[in-house]
Structure 1
Amino acid sequence: MQTENLLKQVNFIKEIDKLKYIQRKTKLFNSNRNENDAEHSWHLAMMTIVLAEHSDKPIDVLKVLKMVLIHDIVEIDAGDTFIYDTAKSHTNTEEELMAAKRIFGLLPAEQAEEFITIWTEFEEGITDEAKFARSMDRFEPLLQNTSNNGGTWAEFDVPYQKVYDKKKAIKNGSATLWNYAENLINESVDKGILKK
Structure 2
Amino acid sequence: MKPENLLEALHVAEKLKDTTRHCYTSGGRHESVAEHSWRMTLMAYWVSDEFPEVDMDKVIRMCLIHDLGECFTGDIPAFDKTDADETTEERLLYGWVATLPEPFRTDMRALYEEMAALQTPEARVYKALDKMEAVVQHNESDISTWEPHEYALNMTYGVEQAQFSAYMRELREAIRQETLDKMEREGKA
> What TM-score bracket applies, with the shorter chain setting the length?
0.7 to 0.9
- The answer as to 2:60 corresponding to 1:65 is yes
Matching residue within 9, 13, 25 for 1:16:
13
Matching residue within 148, 154, 165 for 1:174:
165
Contact 1:150 1:188 in 2 (8 A): no
> 1:40/1:159 Cα in 2 relative to 1: closer, same or farther (>3 Å)?
closer
Counterpart of 1:139?
A: 132
Trace 1:40-189 onto structure 2 (pairs within 5 A).
Answer: 40-55=36-51, 58-85=53-80, 88-89=81-82, 92-150=85-143, 155-158=146-149, 160-186=151-177, 188-189=179-180
Contact 1:23 1:35 in 2 (8 A): yes
Contact 1:49 1:61 in 2 (8 A): yes
Deviation string, structure 1 residues 47-99 (Cα, Å, up to 9, x no partner): 110112234x72101100110000100001122121233xx337843212212
Matching residue within 21, 26, 33 for 2:29:
33
Task: Give SS of 2:47's match.
Answer: helix
> 1:91/1:43 Cα in 2 relative to 1: closer, same or farther (>3 Å)?
farther
Q: Quote the Cα distance in structure 1 between the aligned partners of 2:28 and 2:97.
A: 33
Total equivalences in the alignment: 187
Task: Give SS of 2:28's match.
Answer: coil
Deviation string, structure 1 residues 17-55 (Cα, Å, up to 9, x no partner): 111111001122x22111101111111111110112234
Q: CA RMSD in A?
A: 2.7
TM-score (norm 2): 0.83
How many percent identity over aligned positions?
23
Cα deviation for residue 175 of structure 1 reads 2.4
Letter paired with 2:147: F
Q: Quote the Cα distance in structure 2 between the aligned partners of 1:22 and 1:178.
A: 30
Contact 1:12 1:106 in 2 (8 A): no
Q: Structure 1 stretches (4+) deviating beyond 6 angstroms? A: none
Contact 2:21 2:33 in 1 (8 A): yes
Structure 2, gaps ≥5 residues long:
none
Contact 2:135 2:157 in 1 (8 A): no
Q: Quote the Cα distance in structure 2 between the aligned partners of 1:165 and 1:47.
A: 20
Deviation string, structure 1 residues 107-152 (Cα, Å, up to 9, x no partner): 1143112112212222222211010011111111211222235465
> 1:31/1:134 Cα in 2 relative to 1: closer, same or farther (>3 Å)?
same
